[in-house]
């Protein structure tokens, strides 16, 4: 018998209007949004439902917006009898996964997500950088390119998203040079990404240290189901592992390709992407066509599976 896996999206899945259909239809959604409005120093409902887009794209707003919607959808699925047997989340999405596994409470996770977004945005302003997706080169080739381009500046792999889609991160000069080298070595595409910082790189060191101190103040429990960690791609089963994984995650690559492979290897055959858009579902189906996968980011999609 196969297992059900929930996967939770990270930054870049946000859009203006996200969650408004859930807010209108479900009292549970209204309760979560009202709680978030009180915990945050801005109106998450206004930011999520009305934008504007250029403000919602700011890391400190994006992260809570995606996290809260993911948790609402996750809870509604559970209410309808659909619960995961294993979970993973892409970068920010790891916090949603930890709430689903009951290692973190909603309130604790939102507090971390709030300061994480603020720390990362500040680090991006202090150490300007960029990110880019490289399409059509293997991991080893891109790691070699990063090593070459980082001799004079910072550039490293940020996300192993799929076998043929890898994101790099670093200084503007470092990433630009790596993109040029990738083109020379046969990359199909190099795409600069719109982000407010060089996430998952050493340019986030200040954010990482600030987050470490904050994480020490938060109670973390052993998860009730396996959580496949970004930094190792392996399942975490103990609270002390979680704290270290969340700390490292800020400057280390997201090993998403291997996480998905490990989940499938451990029996997952039905994946639910829980949160806005369908970025993770598209990646999964491109590389594992026989796996059942569905993205649930709207009330309509929720009704289709329940």
Task: Identify the domain boundary among 163, 193, 223.
Answer: 193
Q: Looking at the structure, tell me whether residues 44 and 155 fall in a common domain.
A: no
114 & 207 share domain: yes
For the stretch 52-108, pLDDT in tens is 999 999 999 999 999 999 999 999 999 999 999 999 999 999 999 999 999 999 999
Domain boundary among 193, 210, 243: 193
Whether residue 240 sits in one domain with residue 109: yes
pLDDT digits over 197-215, tens only? 999 999 999 999 999 999 9
CATH number at residue 144: 3.30.70.250
- Do 179 and 118 lie in one domain? The reply is no
Whether residue 101 sits in one domain with residue 44: yes
Count of Cβ atoms closer than 10 Å to residue 188 Cβ: 12
**CB 76: neighbour CB atoms within 10 A?**
20
Active site residues: 91, 200
Number of domains in the chain: 2
Looking at residue 306, its pLDDT comes to 78
Look at residues 45, 71, 72 and name the one whose alpha carbon lies nearest to residue 56.
Answer: 45
- Verify that 243 and 182 share a domain, yes or no: no
Q: Phi first, then psi: what are they for 269, rounded to 5°?
A: -130, 0
Nearest to 276 by CA among 7, 86, 2: 7
Q: Are residues 116 and 134 in the same domain?
A: no
pLDDT tens digits along 9-50: 999 999 999 999 999 999 999 999 999 999 999 999 999 999
Render pLDDT for 101-140 as a digit per residue (tens, 0 to 9).
999 999 999 999 999 999 999 999 999 999 999 999 999 9
Whether residues 160 and 119 fall in one domain:
no
The CATH number of the domain holding residue 65 is 3.40.366.10
Residues of the domain holding 90: 3-125+202-305
Q: Is the pTM of this model over 0.85?
A: yes
Q: What is the mean pLDDT of the chain?
A: 97
- What confidence tier does 196 reach under pLDDT thresholds 50, 70, 90? confident
Q: Judge if 92 and 225 occupy the same domain.
A: yes
Domain boundary among 159, 193, 227: 193
The angle formed by the CA atoms of residues 101, 47 and 100, to the nearest 5 degrees, is 5
């Amino acid at each position: 018998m196969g297992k059900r896996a929930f996967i939770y999206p990270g930054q870049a899945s946000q859009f203006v209007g996200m969650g408004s259909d859930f807010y209108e239809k479900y009292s549970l959604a209204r309760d979560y949004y009202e709680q978030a409005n009180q915990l945050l120093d801005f109106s998450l409902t206004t930011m999520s439902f009305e934008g504007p887009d250029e403000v919602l794209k700011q890391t400190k707003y994006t992260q809570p917006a995606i996290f809260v919607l993911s948790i609402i959808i996750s809870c509604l699925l559970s209410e309808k009898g659909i619960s995961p047997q294993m979970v993973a989340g892409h970068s920010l999405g790891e916090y949603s996964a930890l709430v689903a596994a009951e290692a973190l409470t909603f309130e604790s996770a939102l507090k971390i997500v709030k300061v994480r977004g603020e720390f990362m945005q500040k680090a991006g302003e202090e150490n300007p950088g960029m990110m880019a997706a490289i399409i059509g080169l293997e991991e080893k080739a891109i790691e070699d390119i990063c090593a070459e381009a980082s001799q004079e500046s910072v550039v490293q792999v940020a996300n192993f998203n799929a076998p043929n889609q890898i994101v790099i991160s670093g200084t503007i000069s470092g990433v630009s040079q790596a993109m040029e080298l990738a083109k020379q070595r046969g990359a199909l595409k190099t795409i600069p990404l719109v982000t407010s910082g060089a996430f998952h790189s050493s340019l986030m060191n200040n954010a990482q240290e600030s987050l470490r101190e904050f994480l020490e103040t938060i109670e973390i429990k052993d998860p009730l189901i396996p959580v496949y960690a970004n930094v190792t791609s392996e399942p975490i089963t103990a609270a002390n592992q979680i704290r270290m994984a969340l700390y490292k995650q800020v400057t280390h690559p997201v090993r998403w390709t291997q996480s998905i492979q490990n989940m499938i290897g451990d029996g997952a055959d039905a994946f639910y992407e829980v949160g806005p858009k369908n970025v993770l579902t598209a990646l999964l189906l491109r590389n594992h066509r026989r796996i059942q996968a569905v993205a649930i980011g709207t009330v309509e999609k929720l009704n289709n599976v329940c």
